[in-house]
């Protein structure tokens, strides 16, 4: 669990600003998954990426949200023009194959004020 690194742990943004969330997968992992946890709810799948490819973004809102996983560096989840409803915990998981059940990061808690 400690091997998947997310930063920042906490992020406060004003409405209309941009939020950038970073996820460094465990060493040797090339598959990254992002989930969102709204208050008092379970985690919901957002997007699945492999290096330089978006495999499935069916859980991402169509507007303002984007994700990337470049050849070098961490995966980035970007939220443009944040609104209060974006306040949530965003978790990243990584794996060496298609099944991410084991390795989650500590999450980034985004608060929009």
Smallest distance, Å, CB 15 to another protein? 26
Closest to another protein by CB, 41 vs 72, is 41
- Whole-angstrom distance, CA of residue 72 vs CA of residue 93: 18
Closest to another protein by CB, 3 vs 70, is 3
Closest to another protein by CB, 13 vs 31, is 31
Task: Please report the DSSP string for 30-86 in residue order.
Answer: -EEEEEEE-TTS-EEEEEEEETTEEEE-TTS-SSSEEEE--SSS-EEEEE-S--GGG
Binding residues among 7-66 for another protein as defined by CB under 8 A? 31, 33, 35, 40-45, 48, 56, 59
Mark the segment that binds another protein (CB under 8 A) among 18-26, 62-70, 71-79, 100-108: 100-108
- Whole-angstrom distance, CA of residue 32 vs CA of residue 92: 7
């Amino acid at each position: 669990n400690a091997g998947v690194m997310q930063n920042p742990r906490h992020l406060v943004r004003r409405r209309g600003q941009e939020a950038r969330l970073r996820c460094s997968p465990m060493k040797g992992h090339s598959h990254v998954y992002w989930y969102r946890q709204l208050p008092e709810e379970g985690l919901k799948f957002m997007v699945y990426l492999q290096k330089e490819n978006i495999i499935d973004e069916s859980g991402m809102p169509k507007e303002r949200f984007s994700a990337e996983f470049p050849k070098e560096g961490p995966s980035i989840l970007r939220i443009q023009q944040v609104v209060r409803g974006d306040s949530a915990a965003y978790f990243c998981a990584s794996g060496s194959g298609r099944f991410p059940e084991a390795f989650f990061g500590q999450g980034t808690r985004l608060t929009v004020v």
